[in-house]
Amino acid sequence: MATYSTNEFKNGLKLIIDGDPCNIVENEVVKPGKGQAFNRVRLKNLKTGRAWEKTFKSGESVEAADVMDTDMEYLYCDGEFWYFMDPISFEQIPASLEAVADAKLFLKEQDSCVVTLWNGAPLTVSPPNFVELEVVETDPGLKGDTAQGGTKPATLSTGAVVRVPLFIDQGEVLKIDTRTGEYVSRA
Amino acid sequence: MIETTGANPAALTVSNVKQRLAKRAKMLAAIRYYFDQQQMLEVDTPLLSDYPVTDPQLDNIKVENPTVNYQSTSQPWLYLTTSPEYAMKQLLSLGSGSIYQISKSFRQDAPGPKHSIEFTLLEWYRVGFKMTDLIDDVTALLMALMPTSLMANGVEILSYREAFLRHLSIDPFILTAKQLEDFAHQNIDCDFTDQDKDIWLDLLMSHCIEPNLGQQTPCFLIDYPASQAALAKIAHDQQGNLVAKRFELYIEGIELANGYEELTDHDQHVDRFEQDNQRRGELDLPVQAVDQHFLKALKSGLPECAGVALGVDRLLLLAAS
């Protein structure tokens, strides 16, 4: 079992806490006057997203989490799993709904995604910051209405619903910011 | 934070260099003026020592000794001093009288906003002073150096026990290590266990009490548990607890100074150094050789005195805030 000592703690280090993989968000060494030093660490649970503060006695060892980010190509979904391929080894791995979570709304076949693997299995999936997706359903576009004016909902090929300007028509391809889920422009 | 006090050229810019250096120079001049007014002698002791410190919570930065091949008596390593304490006490034992020093100190601490491995320390010793005299002295120095608004309400003197009662409603002298451990686990997210009571006191002090200290007015925390005496004298408090005649000064939650009514007895020093090394063994830390120059000075007689070390970089930080 690989471990890290508190003197190796730094932002971004991955640890196993209570069985879950966690990321160090902030590490502060606290020392009262002349006494024992402690590491007060802000952690984020990579499975649940929960962030909290935990204290370690300096010198303590903590189990390392075998977590790494890999670039993988999204292939398809069979209704239960989302399949990703390592572009170098061509190895294919399935990701569960739990791992894909909200990213499923922005997964387009052949797009390169960052898949965070824990012990080789997908933990989280991050789509590219911008994706281009087709509008499959929206109210008819209003001619003459350009940049100004209101917005309307549009359903994209992935099932995501985003607010788009009134002039957008069904069948158009749009550029979407996946971090905010917002329309950016026509592609 | 410490970076803003003008000690590190790499943290200065063309636009702030003059202002920051001037603030620092003015502070150093004001410190010297205060001690000169009282006919205190400024001293200048070596930064390199033949011996490390035994304190389990302190680690020296060591450097290769370049003279090791020339003198058979030389040790392979020299140690950058964590404070000028031992050297200054040697001067006191020789009859220097009250002395002060402004010098660099080095500690293998994890760097942080309030920690730097190299920092400027003001350390002074007053012959014939008790702890309470020294607290008055530090207060007078603060009055001379700090903005008047900071000192408008005077200073607070709070015992270690009262601080625990006030902020956590527990008596640190009555509770056992196990009870403190249970209490800590209920209040702080941590998994480790330890049979050493001081670990739990340190944890609660640093996480739950320190941030509150000195928020209204500068606070002297006094009468530490005897187990945390370092090189301070030990006495009984009003409750009959054994306490160290030691204080730490806090301003706005920041520890600024650490003072002792100094232990002078040679044999008690030897005992405490042994305890330090025993504790080091338990913590898998290297056992350290005891400073023989210091022991020799103690044997010849250290006068009754009180001494304090004050972080100058932190003082500048607080004066500016």
CA distances from A174 to A110, A148, B8, B132 (A): 17, 18, 52, 75
Q: Indicate the pLDDT class of residue B190, thresholds 50, 70 and 90.
A: very high
Across the interface, of A33, A36, A53, the residue whose CB is closest to B258 is A33
Mean pLDDT lowest for which of A21-35, B62-76, B271-285?
B62-76
CB-based contact B192 A7, cutoff 8 Å: no
Place of tokens 């009754």: B304
Secondary structure element (H or E) that encloses residue A97, with its range? helix A97-100
**Mean pLDDT of the B203-210 span:** 96
Quick one: how far is CA B75 from the chain centroid? 27
Q: Which residues of A touch B201 (CB under 8 A)?
A: 35
Q: Which amino acid is at B282?
A: E
How far apart are the two ends of chain A, measured CA to CA in Å? 48
Question: What pLDDT is recorded for position B248?
Answer: 97
Q: Which of residues 16-55 of A touch B (CB under 8 A)?
A: 28-38, 40, 52-55
**Chain mean pLDDT for chain B:** 94
Alpha-carbon distance B186 to B182, whole Å? 6
Taking CA atoms, what residue in A is nearest to B253?
A32
pLDDT tens per residue, range B295-315: 999 999 999 999 999 999 999
Interface test with A, best of B183, B186, B203 (most A CBs within 10 A): B203
Residues of chain A with pLDDT under 50: none
Model confidence pLDDT, tens digit, residues B43-67: 999 999 999 999 988 889 999 998 8
User: Quick one: pLDDT at residue B283?
Assistant: 83
| pLDDT band per the 50, 70, 90 thresholds, residue B204 | very high
- B109, pLDDT greater than 90: no
> Contact at 8 Å (CB) between B134 and B261?
yes
- Interface probe for A, chosen from B1, B53, B55, B57 (most Cβ of A below 10 Å), is B57
Please give the pLDDT value at position B95. 97
- B244 vs chain A: nearest CA distance in angstroms? 13
Q: A38 and B201: CB-CB below 8 Å?
A: no
Q: Average pLDDT in the B97-111 region? A: 91
Mark which residues 58-87 of A lie under 8 Å from B by CB. Answer: 58-60
Query: What does the pLDDT read at residue A147?
Result: 57
Q: Has residue B115 got a pLDDT over 80? A: no
* Comparison of pLDDT for B256 and B70, the residue scoring more: B256
Kind and range of the H or E element at B298?
Answer: helix B292-300
Alpha helices in B46-159 (DSSP H): 85-93, 131-145, 148-151
d(CA A157, CA A104): 11
**A29·B112 Cβ contact <8 A:** yes
pLDDT of residue B83: 96
Q: Strands A67-77, A112-118: parallel, antiparallel or unpaired by DSSP?
A: antiparallel
Measured between CB atoms, which of A28, A36, A55 is closest to B190? A55
Q: What b-and-e string marks burial along B167-186, b requiring 16 or more CB atoms within 10 Å of the CB?
A: bbeeebbebebeebbebbee
Q: Which of A18, A28, A38 to mutate to test the interface with B (most CBs of B within 10 A)?
A: A38
Query: What is chain A's Cα-based Rg?
Result: 22
pLDDT in tens, B137-184: 999 999 999 999 999 999 999 999 999 999 999 999 999 999 999 999
Distances (CA, A) of B229 to A119, B4, B51, B222: 48, 33, 21, 11
Q: Between B115, B192, B210, which is nearest A57 by CB?
A: B192
CB contact under 8 A, A33 and B255: yes
pLDDT of residue A145: 56
Chain A residue at shortest CA distance from B194 = A57
pLDDT digits (tens, 9 = 90+) for B212-266: 999 999 999 999 999 999 999 999 999 999 999 999 999 999 999 999 999 999 9
